[in-house]
Amino acid sequence: QVQLVESGGGLVQPGGSLRLSCAAAGIIFRLNTVNWYRQAPGKQRDLVAAITSGGSTDYADSVNGRFTISRDNAKNTVYLQMNTLKPEDTAVYYCNLKLGSRPYWGKGTLVTVSS
């Protein structure tokens, strides 16, 4: 059974940093593209960053240059380093991957950026 567990969220002041983690179980993690999404209250869930099995990365324009996605295949974990956080980054952040056509999601971790 595939399980994704996010951690690392919390309350941070504007300009601060957080590192989110997504730990995976039940899959050969290194073969998969892994994505981070986020969903702010009342808004749709949007793709924030992605990392392929080969380590190629892609970012939403709104976070490019501030967020960095990385992976440690030995630990079955993907990270999202978030710097220079803004109030508009406040959201629940979700880890996601696909096996075939089936998507898997974690339960999310809440990031609140506020003074």
pLDDT per residue over 48-67, tens digit each? 999 999 999 999 999 999 99
Is residue 28 predicted with pLDDT exceeding 90?
no
Token output for 53: 């099995």
Nearest to 23 by CA among 37, 3, 39: 3
End-to-end CA distance of the chain: 40
Least Cα distance to 48 among 12, 81, 72 occurs for 81
Q: What pLDDT digit, counting tens, does each position of 61-87 carry?
A: 999 999 999 999 999 999 999 999 999
Query: In degrees to the nearest 10, what's the CA dihedral of 71, 75, 77, 80?
Result: -50
pLDDT at 39: 98
The rounded distance, in Å, linking the Cα atoms of 30 and 108 is 21
